[in-house]
Structure 1
Amino acid sequence: MKPIVMSQWKTLFGGLLATAILAGSVTMAAAADKPVRWKMQSWFPTKIPHVGSQAKDISRKIKSVSGGNIQFKPFEPGALVPPAECFDAVSTGSVDLCWGLSGYYYGKNPALAVFSALPFGPKWPELLAYFYYGGGKEHYDEIYGRNNIKGIVCGGTVAEASGWFRKEIKSAEDFKGMKMRIFGLGAKVMEKLGASAQLLPAGDIFPALELGTIDATEFAMPAVDLKLGFYQVAKHYYFPGWHQPATLYELAINMDKWKGLSETQQAQIEMMCGDNVRQAIAEGEAKQFAAMKEIKNKGVTLHAWSPEMIQVFRDAWKEVVAEETANSAEFKKAYDNYMAFRSEYKLWSDLGYVKE
């Protein structure tokens, strides 16, 4: 081994010094950022796995990645404002940010349903492709921007179950007169089939099911539903969740507060959210089969909808789409763009993957 000559020592030392100066400048820049201490209203009880616990994950991750400079304190549903008031509360700045999903704000703008989950929508790879590279995010940002909100996709759920029912469903006639808790535009599909649909907060579902206030419910994936105890009352569990094949969850942040952050702080939040999406997909896919086995062992029958029933749901969905696009130009714009991307994507999906 040859000895290092003086010129080489100078080069090595100079490089190390430059690296140290650069690292120090980055550290000082981060240290110069004003500390952020935000209150985060969650739509879901944080004790509920996945959908609620992601609020805690987000809080932990952003504190870690920012070295403690950014801290979000999650609050249980209603602790700051009722979740249904999150949109207005974030818009005005009375709440810093909310953890939930844009589909809950359908009443504010029907197009927001497109950016969370739609019946008979795509699986995760295609959904992310559409949102980030198919024009979805641009329209999403435009709608939220008009309302002084910064939205960031920050998690999600994989395919949900279709629902819990007290009795076996033998035909579409069985839905007539049924009272069911169901999210999003899937509720309008069920109403087309004669059901009375309503959206209940997570904590209110089991009592309503137990008391008979509702006859059936859907909420999330098997691993989540298991913890909510629906199996104690309803013994028929149906798949697939045609109404929510994949769902984007988000942070809705007051725009003024977002603009008050440094570029570094904004990047830290966005990168943390990207990591949380990764975790949500991987964890979601990994934990469902064990939960399904446990649910089955509790005396629940797992059912798959017949092709005929899936077609019934699909036909009703087409009616809902026709009405929604006729009633809302904003929804039509979002839905047409969404379907145009899906049509183009089909060439790739049909040929690019081995059919199982």
Structure 2
Amino acid sequence: MIRLSAIVGLALTAGLAAPAWAGGTTAIDVASTFPLSLPLFSQAAESLTRQVESLTDGEVRLAFHEPGELAPATETLDLVSSGKLAAAWATAGQFARHDSAFELLSSIPFGPDTVEYMAWLFDGGGLALSRGMFGAYGIHNIPCMVFPPEGAGWFSNEIRSVDDLRGLRIRYFGLGGRVLAKLGADVVQMPAGEIVGAMRRGEIAAAEYSLPSMDLVLGLQDVAKYYYFPGWHQQSTLYELYVNQAVWGKLTPKQQETIEAACAVVMRDGIGRAQTMQTEALQELKARGIKLRRWSPDLLMTFEAAWAAVADEQMATSPKFREVYESYDRFHKNYEFWKRFSYLR
């Protein structure tokens, strides 16, 4: 069996991994940036692993690893880019240190729902743009999951006005974090596994992570009382399998097609599962005494105005951000024309 990243410690110090691709089974280690114990992530990883092995008759096997097992979560995509890791399970916004445009490929504040996001991605040019961007860094990206709206954050106190956000130290991901920083919050980034501990120690005062079903398992209800909705910052969120281009190029065309097709099935199954899991999670959180709150209209308008300002700033500094944002915006305007006439709401 050939393990592309089996000697990661050596690879990290000796340079690019250079696996031998002889006959037999090819095992591709996948460094996850998300805890695999969380619902949806665990099911997706198991399904993808099973499908790829079955459909390739055991020629290709994916081996998923917990965050930190092969590399720190914050460095994972960079290590895939360099060839020191074979593959990663992540979201594009985790590569934003190279260009803020990658954050648009995770989620867009006040942006599309799942149907519209998938339409833009697969039929509106989004995937071609993202593959061009990741390809420049030696990565082949494969869409594998898309989530519905996330929770908008956990807080110890109610947020009644923008004044309550000023100076608040909060863990917030992606472009939503840029919006809150614009409004005066002290925004920090940290992996999922560190959030609850940081809140207990008082290192942060609030946080957002993901869907209610995931936040529940992560234990955010143990460190905060108020849970806010809607998730204006992530109305839909894309997750992908990232494979080093050299590793991807060594696979046969049939093996490549199999992994792409398996990811499509995982995405299809996950769309329904993610939607149906959230009611039960919210009911359990409510039963535990968590206060579910909706943002006031005034605050939502404040967030949206701040997002417009952030988008303008990023377009002025990043040509790629402008290219991706304008691609989505053109698609959105055309889609809205159709949606206005065709949908009941």
Native 8 Å contact 1:47 1:53 kept in 2: no
Equivalent residue for 1:22?
none
Give 1:168 deviation, angstroms.
0.9
Equivalent residue for 1:337?
327
Equivalent residue for 1:212?
202
Distance 1:129 1:157 in 2: 14
Q: Which runs of 5+ in 1 are unaligned?
A: 1-31
Distance 1:196 1:56 in 2: 37
Native 8 Å contact 2:114 2:146 kept in 1: no
SS of aligned partner of 1:164: strand
SS of aligned partner of 2:292: strand
Q: Please give the residue correspondences for 1:21-60 in structure 2 after superposition, counting only pairs within 5 Å.
A: 35-60=25-50
Equivalent residue for 1:9?
none
Distance 2:128 2:54 in 1: 29
**Is residue 2:193 matched to residue 1:184?**
no
**Is residue 2:220 matched to residue 1:233?**
no
Give 1:233 deviation, angstroms.
1.9
The one of 113, 119, 125 equivalent to 2:109 is: 119
The one of 243, 258, 267 equivalent to 2:248 is: 258
Structure 1 letter corresponding to 2:74: A
Structure 1 letter corresponding to 2:40: H
Q: Which runs of 5+ in 2 are unaligned?
A: 1-21
Distance 1:51 1:123 in 2: 20
Structure 1 letter corresponding to 2:322: K
The one of 149, 153, 156 equivalent to 2:146 is: 156
The one of 257, 262, 286 equivalent to 1:272 is: 262
Native 8 Å contact 1:51 1:157 kept in 2: no
Distance 2:73 2:223 in 1: 27
**Is residue 2:156 matched to residue 1:166?**
yes
The one of 76, 86, 89 equivalent to 1:86 is: 76
SS of aligned partner of 1:117: coil
Equivalent residue for 2:280?
290
Give 1:256 deviation, angstroms.
1.1
The verdict on how the C-alpha distance between 1:33 and 1:124 changes in structure 2, with shifts beyond 3 A counting, is farther
Structure 2 letter corresponding to 1:87: L
The verdict on how the C-alpha distance between 1:305 and 1:351 changes in structure 2, with shifts beyond 3 A counting, is same
Native 8 Å contact 2:114 2:147 kept in 1: no
**Is residue 2:223 matched to residue 1:197?**
no
Query: CA RMSD for the aligned pairs?
Result: 1.4
Structure 1 letter corresponding to 2:263: C
Structure 2 letter corresponding to 1:136: G
The one of 66, 72, 75 equivalent to 2:65 is: 75
Q: Please give the residue correspondences for 1:309-348 in structure 2 after superposition, counting only pairs within 5 Å.
A: 309-348=299-338
Structure 1 letter corresponding to 2:207: T
SS of aligned partner of 2:203: coil
Give 1:137 deviation, angstroms.
1.1
Give 1:34 deviation, angstroms.
5.1
Equivalent residue for 1:351?
341
Distance 1:80 1:228 in 2: 22
Distance 2:287 2:232 in 1: 25
Distance 2:286 2:226 in 1: 10
Native 8 Å contact 1:51 1:156 kept in 2: no
Over the matched positions of the two proteins, sequence identity in percent amounts to: 36
TM-score (normalizing by structure 1): 0.88
Give 1:193 deviation, angstroms.
1.4
Distance 1:263 1:51 in 2: 27
Give 1:53 deviation, angstroms.
4.6
Native 8 Å contact 1:33 1:262 kept in 2: no
Equivalent residue for 1:144?
134
Distance 1:130 1:205 in 2: 32
Native 8 Å contact 1:42 1:52 kept in 2: no
Distance 1:108 1:160 in 2: 25
Deviation string, structure 1 residues 244-266 (Cα, Å, up to 9, x no partner): 00111001101111111111101
**Paired positions, count:** 324
Distance 2:159 2:337 in 1: 36
Structure 1 letter corresponding to 2:142: I
Query: Which 4+ residue blocks in structure 1 deviate beyond 4 angstroms?
Result: none
SS of aligned partner of 2:174: coil
Deviation string, structure 1 residues 14-37 (Cα, Å, up to 9, x no partner): xxxxxxxxxxxxxxxxxx975321
Q: Report the structure number with the largest CA radius of gyration.
A: 1
The verdict on how the C-alpha distance between 1:261 and 1:116 changes in structure 2, with shifts beyond 3 A counting, is same
